[in-house]
Amino acid sequence: MFALFHQAITSSSVACLCLFAVSLLQFPQMQKLLWGKPTISVEALEQEIKAEEVRLKFLKKIPTFGYDNLIANWIYLNFLQYFGDDEIRTLTGYGLSPQYFEVILKRDPRFVNAYLALSTSSSMYAAMPRKSVKIMNKGLKSLNPWVPENSYYVWRYKAVDELLFLGDSQAARKSFTNASQWAKKHSDSESQLVASISAETAEYLKNNHNSKRAQISTWAMILSHRTDGKTRERAIREIEALGGTIISTPQGNKIQFSDP
């Protein structure tokens, strides 16, 4: 019994030390970015990006001793700091986005909210939808209609990437169909609404591979989420370019379709 207890303590200590060591590796870079932002050069930023890439590769391989969720949450906070720094990202781009989620979703493939951030950052900002879909396909192997809660949203995020950024309407139709089938298994109003909308979008794509209505519905889905200002602006532009009109009502925004 004592040996098992000692082993557990040792494993916990090693995991904490690993996290502490990685944090120390990261701290000087974070300080330089925070305090040196006004004068930091593009060359220096590129070096920081390379260092962060090495750190993420290390975190992808490091043993976790059962602390997968802790590491996933920690890296997600790192990603939010990375993604939210508009001034720096204007200079360096968002190329590390999928690498953050390779680590996050490897450690916690049931982290549903991370899939939305993956789709937005990697497909819309980093222009890497194929990478985003690949990561989601891998994560979906660990999900089912009941675990985690609202797991059907991952199929919808994947459908967004396939339809809007890869132009693969038939892959998107399958993903929307799967989202509908998973959502139908739940009786709450949110799930039933997702099931209905997903089935309708899949039907649009079945009859018309280039359906503007399906594309507008998909952009409307993006608009309905708590997205940043740039994403909302792009969603509105795309909806209007496809012939949709956004109408503000007391119940929220509604989309009027002018074309089938």
Instruction: For 182-205, write each residue's pLDDT tens digit.
Output: 999 999 999 999 999 999 999 989
CA nearest 144: which of 191, 178, 107? 178
What 8-state DSSP symbol labels residue 255?
E
pLDDT for 12 equals 42
DSSP string computed for 2-34: HHHHHHHHHHHHHHHHHHHHHHHHHHHHHHHHH
- Nearest CA among 159, 55, 67, 139 for reference residue 99: 55
Residues 6+ away with beta carbon under 8 Å from 113? none
Task: Report whether pLDDT(24) > 50.
Answer: no
Tokens 């059907």 correspond to what residue?
A: 152
Percentage of the residues of the chain whose pLDDT score is greater than 90: 48
Tokens representing residue 132 in the block: 């985003």
Residue 149 DSSP label? T
Q: Does the pLDDT of residue 3 top 90, yes or no?
A: no
**Cα Rg of the chain (Å, integer):** 21
Query: What pLDDT score was predicted for residue 42?
Result: 81
Show the CA angle centred on residue 18, arms to residues 15 and 24, nearest 5°. 145
Q: What is the pLDDT of residue 251?
A: 67
Torsion of CA 200, 201, 207, 213, to 10 degrees: 110
| pLDDT tens string 79-138 | 999 998 988 888 888 999 999 999 999 999 999 999 999 999 999 889 899 999 999 999
**How confident is the model at residue 41, as a pLDDT?**
81
Distance CA 109, CA 115 (A): 9
pLDDT digits (tens, 9 = 90+) for 223-259: 777 567 788 888 888 888 888 888 877 766 777 776 5
pTM surpassing 0.85? no
Among 32-41, 166-175, 225-234, 243-252, the range with the most confident prediction by mean pLDDT is: 166-175
- The upper half-sphere exposure of residue 67, i.e. CA atoms within 13 Å in the direction of its Cβ, equals 20
Can you tell me whether residue 139 is helix, strand or coil?
helix
Q: Which two tokens stand for residue 38?
A: 């006004």
- CB-CB neighbours of 147 under 10 Å: 9
- CA 201 to CA 158: how far, in whole Å? 14
pLDDT tens profile 209-223: 777 888 888 888 787
